[in-house]
Structure 1
Amino acid sequence: MLNDLNRPLGVDREPPPRNVRKRHWLVASLVLGLAGLGIAAGLIGGKIDPGAVAPIQPLAPPSSSAAARPSASYDGVESAQQVETESGVKVFRGGGTAPGSVIIRAPGTALKPAPDGRLVEDSRYGLLPRRGADGASPSSVYASPKAMQPPIKPGTPRITLVVGGMGLNPAATREAIASLPAAVTLAFAPYGADLAAQAAAAREAGHEILLQSPMEPFNSADFFGPHVLSATDSAKAAEDLHWQMGRFVGYTGVMNFLGGRFTANQVATQGFMRELAARGLDFVDDGSSPQSVAGAIASQYGVGFVKADLRLDESLRPEAIDAALARLESLAREKGFAVGYAAGLPAANERIARFAAELERRGLALVPLSAAIRDKSSTPADKSQSRPD
């Protein structure tokens, strides 16, 4: 096991069996994240300050006078200063893989800072989300404002992308925040170190965020770690959920990690949805368990809900990821909107970013999770559901 964790994923090894490959990345990352819980935030490495990514084109061949300058003049500094001067965007180094690459942040992409004082309460686990006395909820206040979203023509197929596993690997998280479009929703696991800073960085870059909640699976060997929501011990599940919720702020809702046994248990799911309803949070089902009753119970309690239509990186082969993205596009054209989920592997993120960049040209729109939930909750079928006492 230690050898597997220390060896770079996917290098000099045969592809694992399908049932192992599906969860390999997140389970291995969770182990590493657990080990990092006790590490001081300063050891994680550098201030996180990501934003939208755009390449800075190479400067024209230097003149003879420029050639006499130090070599640092050609590492992106001059072009970065020029971008700031001419466009008003903020430019800073780091986050790219190409020599001299920089990240630029266009104005108007950042979400409102969190927490909003109306929407938190103190607990022994930290700040927990709650509904405000004025009726405001985290699911609405922390969502991407409609004014920040480009107008979409009626009838345009919409796609929502959710990428999980954030916070477990700081470098991979920074890269995902910087490289994925702001409309991509990022789900943070509660086991990472320095989660508050990473979650804030994601929101500053325009990403809506979720809490990715570890829940009890059918096979206990599939997952190990503290504070997993129990399907049979409701008191422990409530405490563990509060521990998870207190790890960072600013999320619009909760998404399951594993949880086949938990989401198939009606009593456990009722207690869970009752808590989300009281705190004004949405729920996202990753679609991994066909036995899940989460959708029906979320509707009963008035919890905003959406279920992922497709897992995008079940196979890590590039052609398989591309095929899954193509299938997601087809679903969006058939149904009007579709939701795709990926586990946060860097190789998959690269292909997702490339796919997202082409959507508008192909007549589709990439929308944040809150937009997908608003659209779904406005259907007559959802409005007919009443909330139980």
Structure 2
Amino acid sequence: MANDLGTPLTGRKRKSVPEGASGRRGLPLARGLFAIIAIIIVGFAARIALVDDPNGGRPTQEAAITSSQNGNSVANSVATGPVTITADPGQFPAGSTIITVDNSGGAPANVSPSGLPAANGTIPDLSEETAEGPIPRISPTGQTPFAAYSRAPTVAPAPGTGQIALIVTGLGINEQGSLDAIDALPEDVTLAFAPYGKTLQSTVAAARAGGHEVFLEIPLEPFDYPQNDPGPQTLLTGEPPRANLDKLFWLMARFGGYAGVINNMGARFTASAADFSPVMEELGARGLGYVDDGSSNRSLAPQLAAGNKVPFSRVDMVIDNNPARDPIQAALASLEIKARQNGSAIGILSALPISVQTVTEWARALDSKGLMLVPASALMK
């Protein structure tokens, strides 16, 4: 038996392979998958092109939306007309108000336009924002704080009637004392507030709500400064004008709604044209008045006020140099004589209780004497 290992290889028969065929059977798998994907894409594109269905074949169901309103009586009422809703007293107390807003985008109803007084009595158009706070200015239409915040006399003066103005100073530091004076004094008495009180905004607002005209006291350097010190932010001689104006802006920003200013001391300062002129020029540019307290005969206030078109007047008499009833009554009698002689007179007094009480009693009998009480601005040129 012949060994197979010894059989020559050339002697074996081979299976023939057809021409053009590979050694693998059937079509390749990759070609089949490609054909299936191509058929799906072509079918999807054909559906998009030939079928008008915005929902993409998703199932839909129509339902009436009006049927839900029938179960809500409030919604039905609102849809057909106005409805009245009673508020819970615990959440909305009686006497309160509702702020309504204009649908066109306007401000709330209790916010005043820029040309009308705000809640605190000030007019936004007459206010300028500074680093120290808002200070007075002339409005874009030319209205001045003096004209806007001055108070007309309660009764128009009859021809030939002597007019008396009284200015009460030193208000605002003692809140309760200031409020008592505001309540007691006649409306025609002008009130001057010091710039240092902690409750100035509310106290001044109370004064204006009570019908009083308001002025701001500004501290000016006296001859014996600093032994006699009018207070913080006193305007001083010899300082650069910018430094004194910065102090003036601080003082003017303490509260609003005042028609003008009145000096507190200042005999040295008001006698110095170089120092006083920039201040008076600023007052004129801002439309404020100036009252000179009459304490110094060397004051240049009359000339500087005229040169800067500042409404001005000068106090004729201090009423309570001696703060007792009899001396105050005597000073008021002298003021009456001056008003009859000159047609008008201005007196100044502090907010001491005895001064306030005596002046209040005196004012009640003034009409019977042929004289009348007027705000200080009525006597300012």
Please report the TM-score for the alignment, with normalisation by the length of structure 2: 0.67
Pairing 1:152–2:178 present: no
Residue among 175, 182, 188 paired with 2:187: 182
Pairing 1:251–2:258 present: yes
Pairing 1:199–2:204 present: yes
How far apart, in 2, do the equivalents of 1:274 and 1:191 lie? 24
How far apart, in 2, do the equivalents of 1:330 and 1:288 lie? 20
Matched letter for residue 160 of structure 1: A
Residue among 255, 273, 281 paired with 2:280: 273
Match of 1:26 in 2: none
State the 1:223 CA deviation: 1.1
Q: Which piece of structure 1 moves more, 265-274 or 242-251?
A: 265-274
State the 1:224 CA deviation: 5.3
Contact 1:162–1:340, Cα closer than 8 Å, also in 2: yes
State the 1:225 CA deviation: 3.1
SS at match of 2:377: helix
State the 1:347 CA deviation: 0.7
Contact 1:186–1:208, Cα closer than 8 Å, also in 2: yes
- The 3 A distance-change label for structure 1 pair 260 and 289 is same
**Unmatched 5+ stretches in structure 2:** 1-116
State the 1:253 CA deviation: 0.1
Matches within 5 A, 1:136-175: 136-145=143-152, 149-175=154-180
SS at match of 2:261: strand
Match of 1:226 in 2: 232
Matches within 5 A, 1:208-227: 208-220=213-225, 221-223=227-229, 225-227=231-233
How far apart, in 1, do the equivalents of 2:263 and 2:324 lie? 25
Pairing 1:315–2:327 present: no
State the 1:317 CA deviation: 2.4
Match of 2:248 in 1: 241
Over aligned residue pairs, what C-alpha RMSD do you find? 1.5
Match of 2:366 in 1: 359
**Unmatched 5+ stretches in structure 1:** 1-109, 378-389
Match of 2:335 in 1: 328
Match of 2:109 in 1: none
Contact 1:230–1:236, Cα closer than 8 Å, also in 2: no
How far apart, in 2, do the equivalents of 1:224 and 1:247 lie? 16
Percent identical: 40
How far apart, in 2, do the equivalents of 1:228 and 1:164 lie? 17
State the 1:232 CA deviation: 1.7
Matches within 5 A, 1:373-388: 373=380, 377=381
Contact 2:219–2:230, Cα closer than 8 Å, also in 1: no
Pairing 1:263–2:249 present: no
Matched letter for residue 172 of structure 1: G
Contact 1:112–1:142, Cα closer than 8 Å, also in 2: no
How many equivalent pairs are there?
A: 263
Q: Which has the larger radius of gyration?
A: 2
Match of 2:311 in 1: 304
Partner deviation per Cα, 1:312-337 (whole Å, 9 max, x = no partner) = 01111221111100000000000000
Partner deviation per Cα, 1:67-118 (whole Å, 9 max, x = no partner) = xxxxxxxxxxxxxxxxxxxxxxxxxxxxxxxxxxxxxxxxxxx999522011
SS at match of 2:168: strand
SS at match of 2:275: helix
State the 1:299 CA deviation: 0.7
SS at match of 1:214: strand
SS at match of 2:294: coil
Match of 1:66 in 2: none
